[in-house]
């Protein structure tokens, strides 16, 4: 099938927010009387809170009791203390503009809640470009389950083999793979290439991918790119 759409993760992919999320979780757990080290939480960023909380504290659930209060505290701390200082990932806006110029449909698949997503898109400076989205508010299971990716496909009316996904964590790679959508990974979320194993290609950040679209897994969607857009050497791996 021809390439017609791109599913986009947001945290760590379009906005540099993964460290901030980890700090917010540490503070939320601490405020609840649980001492959880940053190093324990940071590798779990990319999961939704429904997965992260019981992974860190098996006696808790994000849907009830103390776990639910911790999840709410994380959201509040993240938005109040960290969101105002977030920066877009390099090339985030340029990449989305290039995808649209190629005629591709775009849709977000994010483990964030819907109100949080609005702040993230603004921080990424793409809030005026991306309209279609699925979030953890729309599905029962967050990444690495494939539910979000499946819901994103349904929202834009495309088949898995007509799309590619762009993400930054192993949970994106797993979710996309389980939904049948090949995943292009970016390193700006903090993961090594070994951690992103299974991605069809890996780039430093959206700017790197945008600079190498002509040789990327998105190349078939390009419409005669200018010669100066075609690099002599890329940095993709995988």
Q: Is 35 a catalytic site residue? A: no
- Domain ranges (residues) in the chain: 5-16+87-229, 18-84
Question: Which pair of tokens denotes residue 192?
Answer: 């090594």
Rg (CA), the chain: 17
Q: Is 205 a catalytic site residue? A: no
Residue 16 contacts residue 115 (beta carbons within 8 Å): no
> From the candidates 11, 50, 168, 208, which is the catalytic residue?
11
Rounded to the nearest integer, the mean pLDDT of the chain is 92
pLDDT in tens, 63-101: 999 999 999 999 999 999 999 999 999 999 999 999 999
What is the mean pLDDT of the segment spanning 203-232?
76
- Asked if pLDDT for residue 229 goes beyond 90, the answer is no
- Asked if pLDDT for residue 230 goes beyond 60, the answer is no
Look up the CATH superfamily of 5-16+87-229: HAD superfamily/HAD-like (3.40.50.1000)
Nearest to 85, CA basis, from 37, 166, 21, 36: 21
How far apart CA 94 and CA 44 sit, in angstroms, is 28
| List of residues 6+ apart from 33 with CB closer than 8 A | none
Q: What is the pLDDT of residue 137?
A: 80
pTM over 0.75: yes
Nearest to 109, CA basis, from 80, 142, 85, 75: 142
How far apart CA 153 and CA 148 sit, in angstroms, is 9
HSE-CB of 53 using CA atoms within 13 angstroms:
25
Quote the percentage of the chain above a pLDDT of 90: 85
Q: 226 falls in which pLDDT band (50, 70, 90)?
A: very low
- Asked if pLDDT for residue 153 goes beyond 80, the answer is yes
Q: What is the pLDDT of residue 224?
A: 43
Q: What is the pLDDT of residue 223?
A: 59
**Is cis: bond before 138, omega within 30 of 0?**
no
How far apart CA 218 and CA 166 sit, in angstroms, is 10
Question: Which pair of tokens denotes residue 16?
Answer: 């540099």
pLDDT in tens, 181-205: 999 999 999 999 999 999 999 999 9
Q: What is the pLDDT of residue 225?
A: 43
pLDDT in tens, 14-33: 999 999 999 999 999 999 99
Residue 231 contacts residue 215 (beta carbons within 8 Å): yes
Tell me whether residue 28 is exposed, middle or buried, using C-beta atoms within 10 angstroms of its C-beta: 0 to 12, 13 to 18, 19 or more. Answer: buried
- Asked if pLDDT for residue 220 goes beyond 90, the answer is no
Nearest to 141, CA basis, from 171, 169, 186: 171
Q: Is 60 helix (H, G, I), strand (E, B) or coil?
A: coil
- Asked if pLDDT for residue 46 goes beyond 80, the answer is yes
> From the candidates 9, 168, 172, 208, which is the catalytic residue?
9
Tracing tokens 């105002």 back to the chain, one arrives at 84
């Amino acid at each position: 099938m021809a390439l017609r759409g791109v599913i986009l993760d947001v945290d760590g992919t379009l906005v540099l927010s993964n460290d901030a999320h980890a700090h917010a979780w540490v503070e939320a757990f601490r405020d609840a009387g649980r001492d959880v080290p940053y190093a324990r939480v940071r590798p779990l960023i990319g999961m939704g809170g429904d997965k992260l909380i019981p992974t860190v504290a098996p006696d808790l659930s994000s849907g009830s009791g103390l776990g639910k209060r911790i999840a709410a505290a994380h959201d509040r701390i993240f938005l109040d203390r960290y969101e105002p200082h977030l920066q877009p990932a390099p090339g985030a806006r340029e990449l989305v503009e290039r995808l649209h110029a190629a005629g591709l449909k775009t849709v977000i698949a994010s483990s964030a809640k819907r109100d949080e997503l609005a702040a993230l898109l603004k921080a990424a400076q793409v809030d005026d470009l991306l309209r279609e989205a699925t979030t953890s508010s729309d599905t029962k299971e967050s990444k690495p389950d494939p539910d979000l990716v499946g819901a994103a496909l349904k929202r834009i009316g495309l088949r898995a083999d007509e799309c590619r996904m762009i993400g930054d964590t192993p949970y994106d790679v797993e979710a996309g793979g389980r939904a049948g959508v090949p995943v292009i990974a970016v390193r700006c979320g903090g993961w090594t290439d070994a951690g992103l194993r299974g991605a069809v290609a890996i780039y430093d950040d959206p700017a790197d991918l945008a600079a190498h679209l002509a040789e990327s897994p998105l190349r078939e969607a390009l419409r005669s790119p200018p010669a100066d857009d075609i690099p002599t050497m890329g940095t993709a791996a995988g």
